[in-house]
């Protein structure tokens, strides 16, 4: 089992598992909308398609329950689901190479949904594995390896996918990306799970009572808002650059690399920043900066300024994402780790799907500048929710 492996191996495992998630994030946040737009798909069609294809991430709670409850083929509660998700994702994403959205939007959407379903299954099981096997004192290191894996993949895929798409076409870009999705098999196939889980990790329905408490309730609301006004905003940036500024795949890829470098740097500095200064004040300041960045995007910047704003947005996103994940893990009971953490992430993805669909659709109606200003104003709700989280912590503590 993973607990028998070295700390370095464990960190590399979570790095490579979240590298796969980064491949998905790179495609969906950087290239998905520009690609569909180049295929003649309207903003409204893209918005509705995204609601459907992102639904597996909304259903992550079900994957968490299944992973917690069912020992698949007698091989364990986490690893078999991770392997199944990886294999399905490779097949689905590779097959996307042979379907042009302009000729078959329905089959393209179905395959993309299968791909995202596979990643969601792998992701929810990996989340449960992380909570199961990580001591409290090591969570920040594991979170950092997850984040570096995810956004390291985005940097690589931003440059690689964009360059390949520009020079060889999207067919080659999808096929080569599918190879990267298979890399975690080199790690997980070395592991095994015990026949029975430790008593302290055995699934207990009583542990789910935690989701009925006010402390979890405010985290649930924070997750919805974080998905809508932070994660759900990211894909609009490159959509704006492609549609309004005429950015090509290379330029979108360069933006993604700059943005992801900012995210990794933000994650790296967030931990010492939160330790050195009063945590709540730092958290509030970071979320306020995110709102200000969105308001600046409202001026509809030039290509050069968009690259600068992308780096700044990435830096702040990396810091507030670390803050959010820390809050989410602290509110997760180990006796139902997969279920509760999956529920938290499902709520985030509901916010993401709704925010992405609404804001993408609005770009055709009120313009990108107005959409960014609206997002900046609404994101101020995060400050109120962060304050509520802090209040419930002090009350329950």
Residue-wise pLDDT for 140-191, tens only, equals 677 778 888 888 888 888 888 888 988 898 999 999 999 999 999 999 888 7
| Tokens matching residue 385 | 């929710």
Using 50, 70 and 90 to split pLDDT, how confident is the model at 204?
low
pLDDT at 395 over 70: no
Mean pLDDT, the chain, whole residue set:
84
| 208 vs 42 pLDDT, higher one | 42
Cα–Cα distance, 152 to 164 (Å, whole number): 18
CA-wise closest residue to 160 among 145, 146, 172, 150 = 172
Cα–Cα distance, 145 to 395 (Å, whole number): 32
pTM of the model: 0.72
User: Read out DSSP for 124-141?
Assistant: HHHHHHHHHH--GGGHHH
pLDDT at 199 over 60: no
| Tokens matching residue 377 | 């104003």
For the segment 242-257, what is each residue's pLDDT rounded down to a tens digit? 899 999 888 988 998 8
- Please state the rounded mean pLDDT for residues 73-100: 91
Q: Are 201 and 328 in contact (CB under 8 A)?
A: no
Angle in degrees, CA 344, 47, 302, rounded to 5 = 100
Domain of 104?
2-396
Task: Supply the DSSP symbol for 27.
Answer: I
Using 50, 70 and 90 to split pLDDT, how confident is the model at 332?
low
- Total structural domains within the chain: 1
User: Read out DSSP for 293-342?
Assistant: HHHHHTT---HHHHHHHHHHHHHHHHHHHHHHHHHHHHT--GGGHHHHHH
Q: Are 92 and 32 in contact (CB under 8 A)?
A: no
Cα–Cα distance, 109 to 31 (Å, whole number): 15
Q: Are 102 and 3 in contact (CB under 8 A)?
A: no
Using 50, 70 and 90 to split pLDDT, how confident is the model at 333?
low
Cα–Cα distance, 300 to 285 (Å, whole number): 24
Using 50, 70 and 90 to split pLDDT, how confident is the model at 397?
very low
Q: Are 96 and 178 in contact (CB under 8 A)?
A: no
- Predicted local distance difference test score (pLDDT) of residue 100: 92
- Please state the rounded mean pLDDT for residues 373-390: 91
Burial readout 328-353 (b: 16 or more C-beta within 10 A, e: otherwise): bbebbbebbbbbbbbbbbbbbbbbbb
pLDDT at 227 over 60: yes
| 365 vs 338 pLDDT, higher one | 365
- Coil/strand/helix, residue 383: helix
| Tokens matching residue 319 | 């810091």
Using 50, 70 and 90 to split pLDDT, how confident is the model at 392?
confident
For the segment 287-326, what is each residue's pLDDT rounded down to a tens digit? 999 999 999 999 999 999 999 999 999 999 988 887 887 7
At a CB cut-off of 8 Å and minimum separation 6, what does 196 contact?
none
Within 13 A of 262's CA, how many CA atoms are on the CB side? Answer: 18
- Predicted local distance difference test score (pLDDT) of residue 51: 82
For the segment 53-77, what is each residue's pLDDT rounded down to a tens digit? 878 877 777 787 787 777 878 777 8
User: Read out DSSP for 232-256?
Assistant: GGHHHHHHHHHHHH---HHHHHHHH
Which CATH number is 60's domain given?
1.20.1250.20
């Amino acid at each position: 089992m993973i607990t028998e492996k070295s700390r370095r191996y464990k960190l590399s495992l979570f790095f490579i598992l979240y590298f796969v998630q980064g491949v998905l994030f790179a495609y969906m946040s950087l290239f998905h909308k520009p690609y569909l737009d180049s295929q003649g798909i309207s903003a409204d069609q893209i918005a509705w398609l995204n609601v459907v294809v992102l639904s597996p991430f909304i259903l992550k709670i079900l994957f968490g329950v299944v992973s917690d409850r069912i020992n698949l083929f007698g091989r364990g509660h986490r690893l078999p689901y991770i392997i199944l998700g990886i294999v399905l994702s490779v097949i689905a994403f590779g097959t996307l190479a042979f379907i042009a959205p302009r000729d078959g939007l329905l089959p393209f959407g179905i395959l993309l949904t299968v791909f995202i379903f596979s990643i969601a299954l792998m992701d929810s099981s990996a989340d449960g594995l992380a909570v199961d096997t990580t001591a409290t004192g090591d969570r920040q290191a594991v979170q950092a390896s997850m984040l570096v894996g995810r956004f390291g993949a985005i940097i690589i895929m931003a440059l690689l996918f964009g360059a390949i798409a520009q020079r060889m076409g999207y067919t080659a870009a999808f096929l080569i990306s599918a190879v990267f999705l298979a890399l975690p098999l080199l790690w997980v196939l070395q592991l095994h799970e015990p026949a029975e889980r430790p008593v302290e990790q055995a699934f207990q329905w009583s542990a789910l009572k935690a989701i009925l408490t006010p402390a979890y309730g405010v985290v649930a609301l924070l997750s919805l808002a974080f998905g809508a006004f932070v994660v759900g905003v990211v894909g609009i940036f490159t959509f704006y650059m492609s549609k309004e500024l005429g950015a090509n795949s290379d330029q979108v890829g360069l933006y993604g690399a700059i943005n992801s470098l900012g995210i990794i740097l933000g994650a790296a500095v967030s931990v010492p920043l939160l330790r050195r200064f009063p945590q709540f004040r730092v958290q509030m300041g970071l979320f306020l900066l995110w709102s200000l960045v969105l308001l600046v995007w409202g001026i509809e910047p030039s290509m050069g300024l968009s690259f600068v704003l992308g780096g700044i947005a990435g830096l702040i996103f990396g810091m507030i994402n670390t803050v959010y994940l820390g809050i989410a893990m602290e509110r997760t009971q180990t006796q139902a780790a997969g279920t509760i953490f999956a529920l938290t992430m499902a709520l985030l993805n509901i916010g993401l799907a709704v925010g992405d669909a609404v804001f993408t659709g609005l770009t055709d109606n009120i313009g990108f500048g107005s959409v960014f200003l609206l997002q900046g104003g609404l994101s101020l709700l995060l400050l109120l929710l962060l304050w509520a989280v802090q209040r419930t912590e002090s009350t329950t503590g």
